[in-house]
């Protein structure tokens, strides 16, 4: 795990993640296909957006206290292709229970967003897709296999070309490039523009973090994004309207 020079709050997130156990029994999930959902969205003219239920975070103030299912339904109404649900409790206000209920309530694929460090933690809650962060997993290939053995689709999050290489070597076919630098917590869309060319064509490529405007959406798509993961810009205000604004860029310039 490359934990050198992480922001203090990321150290704290990882310390909390170390202490969390897993579920009881080994899970076996039948996922809704994320690649199919992306294709369907693109076919009917929607920008494929993974809308994230993130009640709070270390880089935002305040907390959304609505039921996650209500937020999920509003995101789907706004045209979200998939949902991401934070299950990290101590820094993001999430819970596995919220993900469980969201997945029951919607038809779109649901990503479990957490800081998963050990195989047993994959068994905490069922989801259609799990996030594995390349920087934190020395055994990324084994974790990708372990997730797939349970039926999960896997989104491997990267931030550098070296991490993309590790993700591809681990067999990833869905790769995220996170614009948020976990060293300083700064967000820079140039990260995606620099790293995206190192991702093979046949990999489904997701731009993550810092996407707030239709211009940002167009910029990430121009740089090769097949889908976008958006949290704060959707959670801040009217969730349905925010999602719709990012899903329908054509003809707009803000």
Ligand X SMILES: O=C(O)c1ccccc1NCC(=O)[C@H](O)[C@H](O)COP(=O)(O)O
What residue has token string 């070309």? 161
Which of the following is catalytic: 84, 178, 179, 242?
178
Around Cβ 253, how many Cβ atoms within 10 Å? 8
Residue in the shown chain whose Cβ atom is closest to ligand X: 231
Give the one residue of 68, 153, 160, 178 binding ligand X; rule: CB under 6 A: 178
Instruction: Tell me the sheet residues that pair with 208.
Output: 178, 229
Contacts of 157 (CB under 8 A, 6+ apart): 131, 132, 133, 134, 135, 175, 176, 177, 178, 208
Interface mask toward ligand X for 2-21; x: CB under 6 A: --------x-----------
Q: How far is the CB of 201 from ligand X (least distance, A)?
A: 23
Q: Give least dist CB 80 to ligand X, A.
A: 13
The reply to whether 208 belongs to the active site is yes
Three-class secondary structure of residue 218 per DSSP: helix
Q: Which residue among 57, 68, 157, 242 is the active-site one? A: 157
- The reply to whether 57 belongs to the active site is no
Give the list of residues 6+ apart from residue 185 with CB closer than 8 angstroms, or none.
7, 9, 10, 58, 59
Q: Which of residues 193-222 bind ligand X (CB under 6 A)?
A: 208-211
Cα 114 to Cα 126: distance, rounded to the nearest angstrom = 13
Number of residues lying near ligand X (CB under 6 A): 20
- Nearest approach, Cβ of residue 3 and ligand X (Å): 13
Tokens of 74: 């509003």
State the CB neighbour count (10 A cutoff) for residue 190: 10
Binding mask 221-240 for ligand X (x = CB under 6 A): --------xxxxx-------
x-marked contacts with ligand X along 38-77 as a string, rule CB under 6 A = --------------x-x--xxx------------------
Residue 190 to residue 202: CA distance in whole angstroms: 22
Taking contact as CB under 6 A, which single stretch among the options 25-33, 34-42, 64-72, 180-188 is the one that binds ligand X?
Answer: 180-188
Cα separation, 41 vs 47, in Å, equals 7
Active site residue 209: yes
User: Which residues of the shown chain bind ligand X in the complex (CB under 6 A)?
Assistant: 10, 52, 54, 57-59, 178, 180, 182, 185, 187, 208-211, 229-233
Enumerate the active-site residues: 52, 54, 113, 157, 178, 208-209
């Amino acid at each position: 795990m490359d934990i050198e020079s992480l922001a203090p709050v990321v150290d704290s997130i990882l310390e909390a993640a170390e202490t969390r156990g897993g579920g009881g029994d080994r899970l076996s999930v039948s996922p809704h296909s994320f690649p199919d959902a992306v294709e369907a969205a693109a076919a009917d003219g929607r920008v494929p957006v993974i809308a994230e239920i993130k009640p709070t975070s270390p880089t935002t103030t305040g907390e959304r206290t609505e039921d996650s299912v209500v937020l999920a339904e509003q995101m789907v109404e706004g045209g979200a292709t998939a949902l991401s649900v934070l299950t990290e409790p101590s820094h993001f206000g999430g819970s596995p229970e919220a993900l469980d209920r969201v997945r029951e309530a919607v038809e779109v694929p649901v990503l479990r967003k957490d800081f998963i460090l050990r195989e047993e933690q994959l068994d905490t809650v069922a989801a259609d897709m799990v996030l594995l962060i390349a920087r934190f997993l020395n055994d990324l290939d084994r974790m990708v296999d372990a997730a797939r053995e349970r039926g999960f689709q896997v989104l491997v999050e990267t931030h550098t070309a070296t991490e993309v290489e590790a993700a591809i070597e681990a067999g990833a076919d869905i790769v995220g490039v996170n614009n948020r630098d976990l060293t300083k917590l700064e967000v820079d869309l140039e990260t995606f523009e620099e790293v995206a060319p190192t991702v093979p064509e046949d990999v489904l490529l997701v731009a993550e973090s810092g996407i707030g405007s239709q211009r940002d959406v167009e910029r990430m798509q121009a740089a090769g994004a097949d889908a976008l993961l958006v949290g704060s810009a959707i959670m801040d205000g009217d969730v349905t309207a925010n999602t719709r604004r990012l899903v329908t860029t054509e003809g707009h310039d803000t």
